[in-house]
Amino acid sequence: MRNRPYLVLLLCFGCGIAVFTCFSSLLEQILCVRGYSNSFAGLCGSLFIVFGVIGAGVLGLFVDKTKMFTEATKVNMALSALACIGFAVVSQMRQQEVAIAAASSFFGLFGFAIYPVAMELCVECTYPVGEATSTGLIFISGQVWSVVLMVVLQALTRPLADSPFSTCSVGGDAALSWRASVLVMAGVFSVLSCLFILVFDTPYLRILAEAKAARTASDRIDTVSQAVSQGPLEPSAGTKAHGDHGELDPGKD
């Protein structure tokens, strides 16, 4: 609980997981009110996931070579916030299929890319705590915040007096305005991104420990190599004298 970088990561990334969960769960309900079909909502959800997998793979390779975990996460948090804001705006307009699909793709591309890097940051800032413990708490935080944010977003919906373009299924939720909900979702993600960018900073404890262990092992190998190269140690003068006095002369028996 005294590890401030981990607490920041627990809050920001946990809430980020909640935003992604709400986005994928409520996407169809958000779009159908403005006249977009269920198939288009499914396409946006697919683009969100596919581009997310691509982003996670590319960024994972990048940070594996550069070890720029913090920098990469901060950049992607900022870009994800911009994509979320863009989606919140264009999703409330009609006939903006290209813009909505692009916003969903970019949100997945930059948002999902944070997942593997954030897990590495979690391990780095909590070492030598077990990886299962530190990452498990992150996901538990994400699930808790998902429930809270889902309830809040649904509570912010308002009935529409008239929705002539709605393609939502007939029922109690057929004419609900999600304008306030998506704006709050974008606002929450933007605030958390700013908090993470400004506050988060941590040394890479696991990398430092591995480097120290490697140096120690290298020093030991060098010491042994030097000892072997010098050959067997010559006995000292005292040792020789002691050996000469200790030997018995066979002729004096």
Per-residue pLDDT of the chain (253 residues; tens, 9 = 90+): 578 888 888 888 889 899 999 998 888 888 888 888 888 989 999 999 999 999 988 998 898 888 888 899 999 999 999 999 999 999 888 888 899 999 999 999 998 888 888 888 888 888 887 788 888 888 898 899 999 999 999 999 888 776 666 667 655 455 788 889 999 999 999 999 999 999 988 888 777 777 787 777 776 776 776 777 775 555 555 555 455 544 444 444 4
Residue with tokens 């006995």: 235
The answer as to whether 223 is a domain residue is: no
Contacts of 66 (CB under 8 A, 6+ apart): 72
User: Cβ–Cβ contacts within 10 Å for residue 222, how many?
Assistant: 10
Domain count, the chain: 1
The answer as to whether 241 is a domain residue is: no
The answer as to whether 250 is a domain residue is: no
The answer as to whether 233 is a domain residue is: no
User: Cβ–Cβ contacts within 10 Å for residue 134, how many?
Assistant: 21
Domain harbouring 148, CATH code: 1.20.1250.20
Whole-model pTM? 0.78
Question: Angle at the Cα of 251 (from 245 to 252), degrees rounded to 5?
Answer: 65
The answer as to whether 222 is a domain residue is: no
Domain range for 176: 4-207
Rounded to whole angstroms, how far apart are CA atoms 116 and 119? 5
Q: Are the C-beta atoms of 10 and 141 separated by less than 8 Å?
A: yes
| Max CA separation in the chain (angstroms) | 128
* Angle, helix 4-32 to helix 179-199, in steps of 10 degrees: 160
The answer as to whether 99 is a domain residue is: yes
The answer as to whether 212 is a domain residue is: no
Q: DSSP alpha helices (H): ranges in the chain?
A: 4-32, 38-66, 69-90, 97-111, 114-126, 131-155, 179-199, 205-229, 237-246
Rounded to whole angstroms, how far apart are CA atoms 3 and 121? 13
The answer as to whether 67 is a domain residue is: yes
List, in sequence order, every residue forming a beta bridge with 121; answer none if it has no partner: none
